[in-house]
Structure 1
């Protein structure tokens, strides 16, 4: 029981961490994708909390299982919200609009889970209740995979995460269905005198953990890329101010940037498609403006320019 308790705690902590980072990213970027992910993870936590209580509180388990067999409101809400959010998330990743057909699938899913509980209690009734959810997950994975292969305007990161989310949905849609089938027909009991349900699906837990780990990796990677972009933008501004201070022409700016990268005259000529003689002339003019005679002094002047505080004066005058 201690292992099960720790397992539940770790799951909730993982969901909560991923959700907190998603909320933070949404508040900073205002991107709908992260709002949808936040809601999706919130219902992961809600679902896991209910399952946890059925495993540790017998009175709650009995009451919940009886309610589930007649009016499974909580489970239906969880599945419908997660189906709707996952649909929008996949379309957001694919940069596609959600079609009326897909909205219709969510409506059919909702109606199905609302009507199945009216059947007579049996293992088949429970299996039919869960069936469309796993099929819907499989459909989303297949839909994402097929449309991803047609995409041409994806960044490497978006392609990577969309691909793995799609593949995970295909694989785990089938695994969850297989596990449900075995547990419902071989482990659970649905008799008039005794209703005993195993509410946890390990395959579903593994799928949710994979989604969380992919999200965490994506958010940390995005954070690093954002910081790098800020640094590069700052360096670009500093370089522009430096060039403006010394009155460089556009071509001299290009060559100066390459000089700061320790490029030789021949390398510069090859990179910007100029003759060697033309490059030498521009380098000579840069040396005159910087009042230097050696190539390595370009870097010294550049570094001293920023250390001297001249950049602050340049920024103020620009404003």
Structure 2
């Protein structure tokens, strides 16, 4: 029991530390990805606290297991939010919007989890409750892998999409295997004896690996030096002027995105983090922008842009 206690404390501290870093990044950058990561980590904590209580408080474990067999609303909500956050994160990294098919699958998943308790309480009904969630995790991995293959000039996005894909596919399979074994060989669902082992250690390994990926990305943003912006008012706020400028100098879409960030005083590393590009790719685009503008220093960029605005 002491080992389980220490293990739970480790998980909660890991989730809480990751959440705090993500929260600071969200305060600093205000990006949708930090909202998605923060919500995912919040439900990691909630899920582990509930499991922890079932392991140490017998009365709560009995109440929770009885509720799970009748109306598994708590576990269903946790799974639904986690699944939503995972596909949301993949969409953000790959610069995609939510598809109708993804929302349809999530709604179908929610209905499935609420309808399976109508079956007679048994190992099979519990297994059927968990099965779609593991399959959905594999689906997220396949989606991430497809987006990874489609990326061409976004090295950072490729890096994270590849690792998300491998993590979700492998985790989905081993979680399903562990669930199948525990549900049919360890848990007891008779009318006289109800005993459910609520912790899935494969899920814990998945969440731990996810935390390390989150920390790898979030700490990179958190520890980045603040940018000193020399211009008083960023002139890139007018989309029409920026579009005209980009068209005049024949910028590509990626060069336009990088030019706007250059106007805001972003460094190459900060641009790479924002656009999920490698530092080498950013330097190449910046070099091409300098050639098209016929300049050789960053502090000339704003002057060229201001002159264009005055002559427009």
TM-score after normalising by structure 2: 0.72
Structure 1 residue 221: deviation in Å? 2.3
In 1, distance between residues paired with 2:219 and 2:45?
Answer: 22
Please list every run of at least 4 consecutive aligned residues from structure 1 whose deviation after the TM superposition is greater than 3 angstroms: none
Alignment of 1:169-248 (within 5 A): 169-224=168-223, 226-227=224-225, 230=227
In 1, distance between residues paired with 2:41 and 2:118?
Answer: 30
Aligned equivalent of 1:296: none
Q: Does structure 1 retain, via aligned residues, the 8 Å contact 2:15–2:211?
A: yes
Aligned equivalent of 1:167: 166
Asked if residue 146 in structure 1 is aligned to residue 180 in structure 2, the reply is: no
In 1, distance between residues paired with 2:214 and 2:160?
Answer: 9
Aligned equivalent of 1:98: 98
Structure 1 residue 104: deviation in Å? 0.2
In 2, distance between residues paired with 1:159 and 1:25?
Answer: 22
Matched residue SS, 2:182: helix
Aligned equivalent of 1:113: 113
Matched residue SS, 1:95: coil
Alignment of 1:247-266 (within 5 A): none
In 1, distance between residues paired with 2:156 and 2:52?
Answer: 35
Aligned equivalent of 2:282: none
Structure 1 residue 4: deviation in Å? 0.3
Once superposed, what is the RMSD of the aligned Cα atoms? 1.6
| Highest RCO, 1 vs 2 (Cα 8 Å, sep ≥ 6) | 2
Q: Which runs of 5+ in 2 are unaligned?
A: 231-286, 288-312
Aligned equivalent of 2:24: 24
Aligned equivalent of 2:87: 87
In 2, distance between residues paired with 1:136 and 1:223?
Answer: 31
Matched residue SS, 1:199: coil
Which of 1 and 2 has greater Rg?
A: 1
In 1, distance between residues paired with 2:21 and 2:219?
Answer: 9
In 2, distance between residues paired with 1:23 and 1:222?
Answer: 11
